[in-house]
Structure 1
Amino acid sequence: MPMHDAPVILADADNTLWDTDSVFADAQLGMLANVDQQFPGTARPDPLAHVRAYDQALAQIDRRHLRYPPVLLARALALGNLGHDPATAARMAIARRPSQDLASAEEGIVARYFEALARTPALLPGVTDGLELARRANLNVWILTEGSAERQRTRSQALGITHLVRGVSEATKSQDQFDRQRRRFAPSPLVVIGDQPDRDILPAQAAGCIGVLVPSRFRPTWISSSAWSAADHVAERFDLAIDWIVSGDLVSSAAAE
């Protein structure tokens, strides 16, 4: 493989390298349990689906999307227990002051939620094998995250993969950002591996990068079904994504362009 043809890999972190979804699921279920103590709700066949219906209703109308303040989720869940559907509860949580009972409980509910989120997630299956395969093939892997770069460096170190990646960068993912990254590593092809079509794959492809999707279990309702098959390649696990890159198909297609 000629050195100038060796692709550079930008890997997403959360739900691509490690299982952030499970950490969020546990934290959200804990929040629901704490809200239920203040405002008892009815039995639910799928408590996590219940929480995420309110979570996604908030993300769809708040300008910060999934980065909205967690206190809004506590309010929306409380309103849900009082009989409001997710869309109505989301609007009310954003527009109105909380009730006195909820206001007095909010601080503790949110504090316990953040404590649960602080747990270090586990590596996803195939990540170590994939990173080691990339190193044997002389492919540089960088982490590009929208979260805190320092937090992701700490997690990489705790999970024992720091020596397998070149570094961690923090940036809001957009077509412009991926275009800057593509030009940074030119003439090498730039491959973006991520778990979400709208945040990782589509803007990367629009910037001339190659997108490899390793789908997360978390699938926001606002992402169209067709977007999940729009990547240049879809792999079940991270190591299979790296295997596809190493196989030579990527280098051949990049050279043909």
Structure 2
Amino acid sequence: MVSPAARRLDKGLAGTLVLVDADNTLWDTDGVFARAQLALLSGVEEALATSGPVEGRLSYVRNFDQALAESHHLGLRYPPRLLVNALALGLQGLSQQEAVRRAWNDGLQCGLAPEAISQIERTFFDMIATQPNLLEGVLAGLRDLASAGARTVVLTEGSRKRVIRTIEHHGLSGYIERIFEAPKTSRMFKRVSRLAKNGQTIYMIGDQLTRDIKPASEAGLTTIYVPGAFQPKWELQAANFETLQAATFDAAVSLVIQADQLSSHQKRLAGT
């Protein structure tokens, strides 16, 4: 269903630049991956004719997932067949640490036929290609930004084409000015900040402290942290950063609007 974009007003926050992370800030990418990872575990169990844990199945998979991601240069975007190999070894009695090590070094000896591994991997890719649902408060928040005259720019470290498809699927194109695909470094945030007017406060809304909040803060942006449903252990271990925090996207937008209105009021007082 396509939702009509709110008319952008030429007053109030006119032109305020708001940068927004895509995955798990605007939509529930984690939910898509959770379903795919559980199906992957079931596929490995079926191929081995064995059973894994009955309770905490997602946590079981994600412990292997994060261990693989920590040692791969692509992080959580490592090839999923590594997870297939590691789970197969773990279900056959190896410790998580040893299963992950062997998945890296000798995946062909995981006990699964290459055809079975390929089929499980294909199913995983098919499942993560499905469109994620919007998170709570996203549509309302985007409408509020548009009504206030703000400019919303979406940032992603993934595929820009995929993000465009999801935006179009949910009828959000009228709310988004631009989409940038790039690693989220402080240098990238400084470059994107050139879109703002001189002296204008720039906001960044994201769900990851290490990937969204920290580099944006280092670039001088005002950040708003909206914790996602899934927090990798390196996120939980991250040092605290000075940032605003909100439970939902529309609550984060309310902070933007309140802060900008206060700033505008103070500037008017200073000019009198």
TM-score (norm 1): 0.92
- One-letter amino acid matched to 2:231: R
The reply on whether 1:14 has 2:23 as its aligned counterpart is: yes
The reply on whether 1:145 has 2:156 as its aligned counterpart is: yes
What is the alpha-carbon distance in structure 2 between the residues aligned to residue 223 and residue 2 of structure 1?
38
The alpha carbon displacement at 1:84 in A equals: 1.9
Mapping of residues 67-146 of structure 1, within 5 Å: 67-99=77-109, 101-146=112-157
The alpha carbon displacement at 1:103 in A equals: 2.2
Secondary structure of 2:205's partner?
strand
- One-letter amino acid matched to 2:192: Q
Secondary structure of 2:235's partner?
coil
What is the alpha-carbon distance in structure 2 between the residues aligned to residue 175 and residue 27 of structure 1?
32
Question: Percent identity between the aligned chains?
Answer: 36
What is the alpha-carbon distance in structure 1 between the residues aligned to residue 102 and residue 122 of structure 2?
22
Distance 1:111 1:186, change over 3 A: same
2:270 counterpart residue number: none
1:43 counterpart residue number: 53
The alpha carbon displacement at 1:210 in A equals: 1.3
Q: Which runs of 4+ in 1 moved over 4 A?
A: 1-6
What is the alpha-carbon distance in structure 2 between the residues aligned to residue 174 and residue 97 of structure 1?
33
Secondary structure of 2:263's partner?
helix
Structure 2, unaligned runs of 5 or more: 1-9, 268-272
The alpha carbon displacement at 1:104 in A equals: 2.9
The alpha carbon displacement at 1:102 in A equals: 3.7
Residue by residue over 1:34-64, the C-alpha shift from the partner in whole angstroms, topping out at 9 and shown as x without a partner, is: 0001221343311000000000000111121
What is the alpha-carbon distance in structure 1 between the residues aligned to residue 260 and residue 177 of structure 2?
24
Mapping of residues 163-202 of structure 1, within 5 Å: 163-187=174-198, 188-202=200-214
Residue by residue over 1:1-50, the C-alpha shift from the partner in whole angstroms, topping out at 9 and shown as x without a partner, is: 98898530110111000001100000000000000012213433110000
- One-letter amino acid matched to 2:116: A
1:212 counterpart residue number: 224
What is the alpha-carbon distance in structure 2 between the residues aligned to residue 108 and residue 79 of structure 1?
18
Structure 1, unaligned runs of 5 or more: none
Question: After alignment, is 233-242 or 162-171 more displaced?
Answer: 162-171
The alpha carbon displacement at 1:198 in A equals: 0.5
2:254 counterpart residue number: 243
The alpha carbon displacement at 1:241 in A equals: 0.3
Secondary structure of 1:128's partner?
helix
Residue by residue over 1:179-218, the C-alpha shift from the partner in whole angstroms, topping out at 9 and shown as x without a partner, is: 1112342422221111010110001101111111110011
1:160 counterpart residue number: 171
- One-letter amino acid matched to 1:93: A
What is the alpha-carbon distance in structure 2 between the residues aligned to residue 251 and residue 178 of structure 1?
24
- The question of whether the paired residues in 2 share the 8 Å contact of 1:244 and 1:250 is answered with no
What is the alpha-carbon distance in structure 2 between the residues aligned to residue 8 and residue 206 of structure 1?
17
Specify the structure having the higher radius of gyration (Cα).
2
Question: After alignment, is 55-64 or 89-98 more displaced?
Answer: 89-98
Secondary structure of 1:141's partner?
strand
What is the alpha-carbon distance in structure 1 between the residues aligned to residue 162 and residue 242 of structure 2?
28
